[in-house]
Homo-oligomer: A and B are copies of this chain.
């Protein structure tokens, strides 16, 4: 994703030029700031959807842990089965692990990097055991937090499962399943949608400067609609309005509506609504601690590109299931061939062609980010620092929630990717 400064003049620490400015971050602590606290809440502490304050920094450090209190949602039930415990083997040595941020020269510690990167919560699993767990900001462990585009990787996994079952054909035209999209920019293949190589007249930009992103957000209900809004007011009403621009299959461009098309495809071929499908196929089979939930649009259609809210440890369970090749608790939740397919990644040239030079050598496949590095790392990534980081070689999974002031992971990666790698190397060198 390209850098997009949302919150004004919030310069990141200049890595290598001095110590991280942790005081600046701590000054945005949502609990200390008293957002939405008080009976009644004083006007200067109020956070609202209608006036857009819910999605301003530093207010969103509160918002991201309280999504359902602002928007309509639907449950993704965990089912009636027992919670599958994550055994604990906490390590005191990890806080002091040091690494050099990308583009920097001076080493920083893991502990400081978490604060500097506006982490709300982080769980590190090694060989399935919790070796590190910490909550900051407004988050506590038994509460959900928005996962933003990490949601997409759940959709991609489900879609790949349906491909494996023969219910969806990667080579087929999207319109074979969704004639509603005839004449739209989605005259592409299923594979092109899942890898986001569709060529659409759509600019993904969260600063309010993109007419197409704004139209999408007004349609989905992610942002309050202007009084004179006359465009679509639901996801399935919006998608047919997206036009084509260019040639499908050549360049990767990160455009969220592809995920809504994928979710629509899945619902069409299974006859099941997305939340029910996600629960039935994945969430209810994780031994999750809690239901997850999704924001819904006016039709009750969930925002499958951005709106999963869940407990962090449950995201970690999902990551660990993937790391184990889809097996979890004695059952094959996701076929191992599907996990292999996701890990294989996609066309690196399309990734570069789309301008994603900040993740050299990576690709994007089935709504997963694939590093193609020597550890075989692949990730689910969401704006403001949400992540599931799977390192098969280190047998490590990291799940992270954050409320970074900047919306682009390009601003967050310099402190997070080398940190994750440093922890992986420590765990490999000194397994407990």
Instruction: Please give the residue numbers on chain A whose beta carbons come within 8 Å of chain B beta carbons, in ascending order.
Output: 36, 39-41, 46, 48-50, 66, 68-75, 77, 80, 83, 142, 180, 234, 236-237, 264, 267-268, 289, 291, 296, 298-301
Contacts and interface: CB of A to CB of B under 8 A. Distances in A.
Nearest to A48: B298
Nearest to A62: B300
A395 to B, nearest CB: 28
Given A73-B73, A142-B77, A291-B291, A36 B68 contact: no
Count of this chain's copies in the oligomeric assembly: 2
Contacts of A77: 142
A332 to B, nearest CB: 25
List of 5 A-B pairs having minimum Cβ-Cβ separation, nearest first = A40-B236, A41-B299, A69-B300, A69-B296, A69-B72
Contact of A39 (B39, B50, B80, B264): B264
Contacts of A180: 40
A409 to B, nearest CB: 28
Contact of A71 (B72, B234, B289): B72
Given A77-B142, A299-B46, A40 B72 contact: no
Contacts of A71: 72
Contacts of A39: 236, 264, 267-268, 301
Nearest to A267: B39
30 contacts: A36-B299, A36-B300, A39-B236, A39-B264, A39-B267, A39-B268, A40-B180, A40-B237, A40-B299, A40-B301, A41-B234, A41-B299, A46-B298, A46-B299, A48-B298, A49-B72, A50-B298, A66-B300, A68-B68, A68-B72, A68-B73, A68-B75, A69-B74, A69-B296, A69-B300, A70-B72, A72-B72, A77-B142, A80-B83, A80-B142
A158 B66 CA distance: 25
Nearest to A45: B299
A428 to B, nearest CB: 33
Contacts of A301: 39-40
Nearest to A273: B39
A165 B73 CA distance: 37
Given A68-B72, A69-B72, A80-B289, 13 more contacts: A39-B236, A39-B268, A40-B180, A40-B234, A40-B237, A40-B299, A41-B299, A41-B300, A48-B298, A49-B72, A50-B298, A69-B296, A73-B73
A163 to B, nearest CB: 20
Most buried by B among A46, A234, A300: A300
A80 B78 CA distance: 13
Contacts of A264: 39
Contacts of A74: 68-69
Contacts of A268: 39
A73 B296 CA distance: 13
A298 B46 CA distance: 8
Contacts of A80: 83, 142, 289
Nearest to A50: B298
A49 B75 CA distance: 19
A10 to B, nearest CB: 26
Contacts of A66: 300
Nearest to A239: B40
Among A41, A66, A299, max chain B CB count under 10 A is at A299
A184 to B, nearest CB: 14
A65 to B, nearest CB: 12
Contacts of A73: 68-69, 73
Contacts of A298: 46, 48, 50
A36 B40 CA distance: 36
A70 B297 CA distance: 9
A306 B152 CA distance: 36
Nearest to A302: B69
A63 to B, nearest CB: 11
A39 B236 CA distance: 7
Nearest to A227: B227
Most buried by B among A39, A70, A237, A267: A39
